[in-house]
Structure 1
Amino acid sequence: MIYLDHAATTPMSETAIRVYSKVSRRYYGNSSSLHDVGSDAESLLEESRRQLATYFNGNPEGVYFTSGGSESNHLAIVSMARGNASKGKHLITTETEHASIANTFLLLENEGFRVTKIPVDSTGTVEVAAVREALEEDTILVSIGHANSEIGTVQPLKEIGLLLKERGVLFHSDCVQTFGKIPIDVKGIGLDSLSISSHKVYGPKGVGACYIAPNVSWCASIPGSSHENGFRSGTVNVPGNAAFVTAAEEMIDSMAHYERHFRMLRNNFVDFAKSDDRIVIEGHPAEHLPAIIGFRVKGLEGQYVMLELNRKGFAVSTGSACSVGKQSPSKTMLSLGRSPEEARELVRISFGKSTSKKEVEALIQALEGILASMDTAKSVQAGL
Structure 2
Amino acid sequence: MKYFDYAATCPLDKDAAEVYVKAATEYYGNTRSLHDIGSQANELLENCRREIAQLLGVVKEGIYFTSGGSEGNFLAIHALLSAKKGKHIITGIAEHSSITSTIEKLTEEQQYEVTALPFNQQGHIDIEQLRNAIRKDTALICIQHGNPEIGTKQPIEEIGWLAKEKDILVHSDCVQSFGKTDLQRVAQSVDSLSISGHKFYGPKGTGAVYIHPRLNWNGYYPNASHEKGFRPGTLNVPAIAAMTVAAQKVYQKLDQNHSHYYLLRETFLNALEPIKNQFVVYKTDDSLQLPSTIGMRVLGIEGQWMMLECNRYGFAISTGSACQTGMKSSSKTMMALGVSGKMAKEFIRISFGLETTKEDAKELGESIVKIVQTTHNTNPV
Structure 1 length normalisation: TM-score? Answer: 0.95
* Pair 1:93 & 2:91 matched: yes
* Pair 1:120 & 2:91 matched: no
Q: Deviations over 1:183-212 (max 9, x none)?
A: 001577511110000000100000001110
Whether the 8 Å contact between 2:95 and 2:332 is mirrored in structure 1 is no
1:116 Cα offset (Å): 1.2
Stretches of 4+ aligned residues off by more than 4 angstroms? 186-189
**Structure 2 counterpart of 1:57, which letter?**
G
Whether the 8 Å contact between 2:304 and 2:319 is mirrored in structure 1 is yes
The aligned residue for residue 30 of structure 1 is 30
The aligned residue for residue 137 of structure 2 is 138
**Structure 2 counterpart of 1:231, which letter?**
F
Whether the 8 Å contact between 1:186 and 1:192 is mirrored in structure 2 is no
* Pair 1:366 & 2:364 matched: no
Whether the 8 Å contact between 1:123 and 1:284 is mirrored in structure 2 is yes
**Structure 1 counterpart of 2:88, which letter?**
H
Whether the 8 Å contact between 1:57 and 1:187 is mirrored in structure 2 is no
Q: Deviations over 1:231-276 (max 9, x none)?
A: 1000011001000000000000011001001001111222334542
Q: Secondary structure at the match of 1:372?
A: helix
The aligned residue for residue 301 of structure 1 is 302
For 1:153 and 1:164, locate their aligned partners in 2 and report how far apart those are by CA, in whole Å.
21
Question: Which of these residues, 89, 104, 117, is aligned with residue 106 of structure 1?
Answer: 104
For 1:187 and 1:150, locate their aligned partners in 2 and report how far apart those are by CA, in whole Å.
20
Whether the 8 Å contact between 2:170 and 2:190 is mirrored in structure 1 is yes
1:338 Cα offset (Å): 1.1
Task: For structure 1, list consecutive stretches of 5 or more residues without a partner in the other structure.
Answer: 380-384
For 2:317 and 2:227, locate their aligned partners in 1 and report how far apart those are by CA, in whole Å.
37
Q: Deviations over 1:287-325 (max 9, x none)?
A: 210000011110010000000000110011000011122
Q: Secondary structure at the match of 2:377?
A: helix
For 1:355 and 1:143, locate their aligned partners in 2 and report how far apart those are by CA, in whole Å.
33
The aligned residue for residue 244 of structure 2 is 245
Q: Secondary structure at the match of 2:141?
A: strand
- Superposed counterparts of 1:42-81, under 5 Å: 42-81=42-81
For 2:68 and 2:93, locate their aligned partners in 1 and report how far apart those are by CA, in whole Å.
22
Whether the 8 Å contact between 1:70 and 1:100 is mirrored in structure 2 is yes
The aligned residue for residue 189 of structure 2 is 190
**Structure 1 counterpart of 2:36, which letter?**
D
Q: Secondary structure at the match of 1:153?
A: coil
Q: Deviations over 1:87-117 (max 9, x none)?
A: 2111111111000001011011111111111
The aligned residue for residue 39 of structure 1 is 39
For 1:119 and 1:189, locate their aligned partners in 2 and report how far apart those are by CA, in whole Å.
25
1:285 Cα offset (Å): 4.4
The aligned residue for residue 172 of structure 2 is 173
For 1:130 and 1:378, locate their aligned partners in 2 and report how far apart those are by CA, in whole Å.
46
* Pair 1:320 & 2:324 matched: no
**Structure 2 counterpart of 1:350, which letter?**
S
Whether the 8 Å contact between 1:300 and 1:345 is mirrored in structure 2 is yes
**Structure 2 counterpart of 1:108, which letter?**
L
The aligned residue for residue 148 of structure 1 is 147
For 1:127 and 1:177, locate their aligned partners in 2 and report how far apart those are by CA, in whole Å.
20
Instruction: Please say which of residues 224-233 and 334-343 is displaced more in the overlay.
Output: 334-343
1:375 Cα offset (Å): 3.2
**Structure 2 counterpart of 1:125, which letter?**
H
The aligned residue for residue 331 of structure 1 is 332
The aligned residue for residue 206 of structure 2 is 207
**Structure 2 counterpart of 1:272, which letter?**
A
For 1:45 and 1:203, locate their aligned partners in 2 and report how far apart those are by CA, in whole Å.
16
The aligned residue for residue 382 of structure 1 is none
**Structure 1 counterpart of 2:330, which letter?**
P
For 1:116 and 1:170, locate their aligned partners in 2 and report how far apart those are by CA, in whole Å.
15
The aligned residue for residue 83 of structure 1 is 83
Whether the 8 Å contact between 1:13 and 1:202 is mirrored in structure 2 is yes
1:75 Cα offset (Å): 0.5
For 2:224 and 2:311, locate their aligned partners in 1 and report how far apart those are by CA, in whole Å.
44
For 1:78 and 1:377, locate their aligned partners in 2 and report how far apart those are by CA, in whole Å.
54
* Pair 1:277 & 2:282 matched: no
For 1:232 and 1:300, locate their aligned partners in 2 and report how far apart those are by CA, in whole Å.
45
Q: Secondary structure at the match of 2:205?
A: coil
Task: For structure 2, list consecutive stretches of 5 or more residues without a partner in the other structure.
Answer: none
1:82 Cα offset (Å): 2.7
**Structure 1 counterpart of 2:329, which letter?**
S
Structure 2 length normalisation: TM-score? Answer: 0.96
Whether the 8 Å contact between 1:273 and 1:281 is mirrored in structure 2 is no
